[in-house]
Amino acid sequence: MTTVHVPAVRTSAADLSVWPASTTEPAPGDLAVSGVPLAEIADRFGTPVYVLDEAEVRERCRTYRHAFPDADILYAAKAFLCRAMVHWIDEEGLGLDVCSAGELELAVTTGFPPDRIVLHGNAKSPHDLDTALRLGVGRVVIDSPSEIARLAAAVGPDGHQKVMVRVVPGISAGGHQKVRTGTDDQKFGLSIADGYAQHAVTRILDQPQLELTGLHCHLGSQITGVEPYLVAVRRMVGLMTRLYEQHGLVLRELDLGGGHGIAYRPGEPALDLTALARGIRGELADACAAAGLPRPRLVIEPGRAVAGPAGVALYRVLAVKHTGDHVFVAVDGGMSDNPRPALYGVRYAPRLVGRRSAAGPARVTVVGRHCEAGDVLASDVDLPGDVHPGDLLAVPVAGAYHLSMASGYNLVGRPPLTAVRDGHARLLVRRETLEDIGSRDVGL
């Protein structure tokens, strides 16, 4: 480990508003996270490289537990997962929301209690379900009618499995059309409007080995307003009321999913967690009182809001190209380590680190090294006009959906991930090598 001593001097809050809270500027042009200079990390581990602030992750877990003291908080593993992250989440008292046998097995073999894990997925494979049952997962969220019979058969007549039903409440919310999952025109869940959700509940009640504990819904991602969640509470309690009237069923749990929006650039909106918690508690209390139902236990599933702001991605500039009115700054990564700009048009705020520049700002587009015109990491951003090959660029808010969505495009290998805390940097996930890639190629 490397130990450094960096004065804890913050620049203006506006400059670093989307960076980890531990970010300091020990010298003009330099940035350090948790006391570790980013330039030092790039030199030690190479680039591209991801940096994750452990203390920031843990603090965000505690913020959720404080905001929702009477709820179960499940970290959405799809945002980012590794063995160290599993330990942090466990030690901070959160549960896990997983979407595959791979995520589940990694968590359990790392020592995470399986009864604090919920398995999601719109198309769970037989292997997913078999692994969940073998490891004793806490809940399986039913996402389609056919899954009920398959799960019941896998459990067997003498077995027992707690389940929830994923409900589509008919609410459009989220930062991009591709991440809006609360409407009836996408692949997830069972609709209230067409009666499929109610029908699924009836079928589950006919399977004695399946115990229905509650309902689940997930509206989408990058939601920055509270109102969609309040509408969801009303509609979900409305469905609970109908189920009670029809079956005498009192459900103990209501999972409202996640999708809590964060800011990727200074000035962008983010979901107010305190307002969300206050609003949901009040709406749930009022709706249940009006229906004459006991309040179910809330379940919340943040992922991006825990990991995203804790991460930074570092790149080396490889080329600077002037084409007409455009300046393209090409780096040694791209869509293989961050496909989100190409998928959703996400915009980032990269910054030159490692040296001080006296040059005025220039409007540039930061692009990747891959063979796609859409391999753009940040469009129309300001960098110093003297940016040149060899410079180091840092991109904040890179802790979620970067390594977890990284690919093998152009066989460049996925970057390593390091953790920083209290002046120390350590490797959590090593760089993928050509030997790693070649070992899977067994066709000769």
Q: What residues are annotated to the active site? A: 371
CA–CA separation, 142 vs 111, rounded Å? 25
CA separation, residue 251 to residues 62, 237, 291, 295 (Å): 27, 10, 13, 9
Cβ count within 10 A of residue 267: 9
Strand ranges for 69-189 from DSSP E: 72-76, 95-98, 117-119, 139-142, 161-168
CA separation, residue 154 to residues 125, 179, 208 (Å): 12, 31, 13
Contact 16, 10 (CB under 8 A): yes
| 59 φ/ψ angles, rounded to the nearest 5 degrees | -65, -40
Return the DSSP state at 307.
Answer: H
CA–CA separation, 262 vs 276, rounded Å? 14
Residues 6+ apart with CB under 8 A from 234: 283, 287
Give residue for tokens 């499940």: 74
* DSSP codes of every residue in 193-213: TTSHHHHHHHHHHT-TTEEEE
Give residue for tokens 């001097």: 9
